[in-house]
Structure 1
Amino acid sequence: MHKLSALLGLSLLAAGLAQAQTASSTSPSEHSPPGWQACQAMGSDATAQLACFKNWAASQAPTSSTSTAASASQQPDTATALPAVPVVEVIQAQAPDGKKIGCRDTHYSELSRFWELQKGSDCDTFALRGYRPTTMMWIGSTSVNNQPSTPSPGHTVSTPFNYERNETRIQLSVRTKVAKGLLTSAVDNEAENDSLWVGYTQQSYWQLFNGEISRPFRTTDHEPEVIYIYPHMIDLPGGWKYRLSGLALNHQSNGQSLPQSRSWNRVYLMGAAEKDLGGDARLTLQGRIWHRLRESSQNDDNPGITDYIGRAELVGAWQINKIHSLGMTVRHSLRSEARGSVKLEWMKASTSIANSAALRYHVQLFNGYGDSLVDYNRRRTVLGIGLSLVDW
């Protein structure tokens, strides 16, 4: 009896397939129940229904690439097949070369990423980036300038202020690249690109702890500049590589009226080199030498400023590892009466953010002239402790 039922089920399946083939060849708009539906209709005989489904499933199995052509004529008509399951292709997104991630790609050196010296380290134009550290610090100094003065007439404060030596320093510094490939034409990622940048730095001294005089900002310096960078890859002795030359126009002023007005303009040349020490360790060295643009004596807020602040500076940085870095900046007047300044710095990244290394604990010690523009002719020692964002 069971064998008879199975044969009856197979006969119904064959009839259904034949009917589907006939319908698909005569009227594509009329569809007969597919084979699996015929099996479903055999619910009264479980054994026959199971055999029907097994035979139908076998007819849907894909063939190997070597036997496809030979067995194609033996396969059931595709009109009876279930819809194919779509294949999902996983695609790993990648940013185009030189876009967004280029200046964060550690395949390139520190200077190459900072100034985007190569096509592969390019973050394109008009992307806002950090320049000098953006800083919030407590400041303690050996003295404070309560009566700023210069040799120019009308530039001496008549009534001394009541400032305190403990205050807060806030520095904001940003830049953006406005043009690239002006004199060079980079073809591949390792090729070099020159660039033109616009930068702005603002530094404020805030008498945050001086409630007696309503916690004013003692002074704020504004420093916009335009910088042209030309890349190099020149091998130097000792494993050093000379990486860039630059030319810049710089303006600095405190935006005050007389008697506290201070401002000057200068052009400077710069150059930078680096040395890879292996792992995350490296050394960088940058030098600048500048020339003050001449002003008439009646418009000169700060005569002899270069004799105090200096005419050149040398900046050295040692990245010890992802966590720690040391820095030193030396400025000199390049005259027999040596004035200028020395600044020592230590930065430490939190271990939880060591991979980004953007936020740092920052300790700074300064001695000399010109830690602010109003103090260009006043020597003092300043200790700063706080937090800084570097090249965010």
Structure 2
Amino acid sequence: MKKWIWTIASCFTVLVAGNAQAQVLSDMQQCLLDKMNTTNADTTIAEVRSQCEKQLRAAKKEEVVEVDAVEGEAGVLTKRIRSEQVTQFDPYVLTPHRRNYMLPIITSNNINREVYSGLQGYQQNLEDYEAKFQVSFKVPFNRESLLFENDRLFFGFTVQSWWQVYSNKISKPFRETNYMPEFFYATPTGWHPFGTNTGLVFGAEHLSNGSSQPLSRSWNRFYAQFVVEKGNFVFSVKPWIRLQEDPKTDPLQSSGDDNPNITDYVGDYEFTTAYSDGDFEYIFKLRHAIDTGRGSAELNWTFPIGGKFIGYTSIFTGYGESLIDYNHKQTRFGLGIALNNVL
């Protein structure tokens, strides 16, 4: 076995020996050479290579942490960002953006029936409980810093679906699906008041349910987000400005504003506070409309259940749980599983 490893390492050495004084063995080649003297004879070449890959990956992660050192102590959000940096350009890794989850059952004290009055059978046969899931990922554009050290430009995509899986009389339809592509730029500020870490995010989002009239809902917004991290806590405030559309002359025309008063219900900004101790995560979101006082409150928490899966619980009350419900007030409770935490 050691002879095979020596043969592979020797071949690599020959390839780089053309100018021996100017070149050195790559990290992988050096690792193979080192393993030659420590690996027992029963170890396969594949196992040796796997050991080297893990070793180099761990070394790369330590390097990222060292380069990304900040004045404040690294908190839960910084640790997530550093972990993502290790694999974010790996073609076989899809980096989560928001939480990815499945709620097999989510209840409502006031399901929105009126908006479906034009669809035969929907209004009277919708159930007050359904399933909900979310899929969310992001892709970075830049490896090197753009404007400030360790800044990043991303494309993100999030899909949410509400599935009337328990409605036997209307063939279990997907009641609503919301799509949100976005571009956003994130950068640390280098400001560390009271030992905190702070950052800024600027983004543009398009939100749509992809439906035809009269159920079509959509809007575009620009936002800025200020984030503060301290240990296990993260706080953020995210105001936004809606990009206005032309008014409709006919409610059934395809062009024009589907929901001109949406910010009067879903709000003008969002305040978030989050806590994570590694096993349990709690996130509280508050949205508020300055002119009308409407908005919503949402509390999510997760807990370990073993393996890849995380227990996930959600309580929502107010307006805008989905685009079709933007002006409909309700209280919802859901229980299910998640694949990742936010922190």
TM-score normalised by the chain length of structure 1: 0.64
| Preserved contact between residue 302 and residue 341 of structure 2 (Cα < 8 Å) | no
| Preserved contact between residue 129 and residue 391 of structure 1 (Cα < 8 Å) | no
CA–CA separation in structure 2 for the residues paired with 1:266 and 1:228: 15
* Alignment map for 1:244-255 (pairs within 5 Å): 244-255=199-210
2:138 to 166, 175, 200: 175
Aligned-pair CA distance for 1:322: 2.4
Of structures 1 and 2, the one with the larger relative CO (CA 8 A, separation 6+) is: 2
Aligned-pair CA distance for 1:88: 3.4
**Which stretches of structure 1, 4 residues or more, deviate above 6 A after TM superposition?**
none
CA–CA separation in structure 2 for the residues paired with 1:98 and 1:376: 45
Change (3 A) 1:99 1:177: farther
Change (3 A) 1:129 1:148: same
Aligned-pair CA distance for 1:113: 4.0
RMSD over equivalenced CA pairs, Å: 2.9
CA–CA separation in structure 2 for the residues paired with 1:236 and 1:251: 34
| Preserved contact between residue 88 and residue 95 of structure 2 (Cα < 8 Å) | no
Structure 2 residue matching 1:148: 3-state secondary structure:
helix
Asked whether 1:388 is paired with 2:343, we answer no
2:225 to 270, 280, 284: 270
Q: What letter matches 1:182 in structure 2?
A: L
Asked whether 1:318 is paired with 2:298, we answer no
* Alignment map for 1:206-245 (pairs within 5 Å): 206-237=163-194, 239-242=195-198, 244-245=199-200
CA–CA separation in structure 2 for the residues paired with 1:101 and 1:300: 49
CA–CA separation in structure 1 for the residues paired with 2:99 and 2:81: 15
User: Which residue is equivalent to 2:26?
Assistant: none
1:139 to 85, 106, 123: 106
2:324 to 361, 369, 374: 374
User: Which residue is equivalent to 1:297?
Assistant: 247
| Preserved contact between residue 173 and residue 201 of structure 1 (Cα < 8 Å) | yes
Aligned-pair CA distance for 1:226: 0.4
CA–CA separation in structure 1 for the residues paired with 2:165 and 2:279: 30
- Percent of residue pairs bearing the same amino acid type: 31
TM-score normalised by the chain length of structure 2: 0.73
For residues 335-366 of structure 1, give each alpha carbon's deviation from its aligned partner in whole angstroms, at most 9, with x where no partner exists.
Answer: 2x20110001121013x45xxxx632111110
Structure 1 residue matching 2:301: 3-state secondary structure:
strand
| Preserved contact between residue 75 and residue 233 of structure 2 (Cα < 8 Å) | no
Structure 2 unpaired stretches of 5+ = 1-34, 39-50, 249-255
Structure 2 residue matching 1:258: 3-state secondary structure:
coil
Structure 1 unpaired stretches of 5+ = 1-86, 150-155, 185-191, 277-281
For residues 67-119 of structure 1, give each alpha carbon's deviation from its aligned partner in whole angstroms, at most 9, with x where no partner exists.
Answer: xxxxxxxxxxxxxxxxxxxx93348632286579959xx99543224445x9x
Structure 1 residue matching 2:191: 3-state secondary structure:
strand
User: Which residue is equivalent to 1:259?
Assistant: 214
Larger radius of gyration: 1
Change (3 A) 1:287 1:327: same
For residues 219-243 of structure 1, give each alpha carbon's deviation from its aligned partner in whole angstroms, at most 9, with x where no partner exists.
Answer: 1000110010111232224x4332x
Change (3 A) 1:209 1:158: closer
Aligned-pair CA distance for 1:294: 1.1
Q: What letter matches 1:215 in structure 2?
A: K
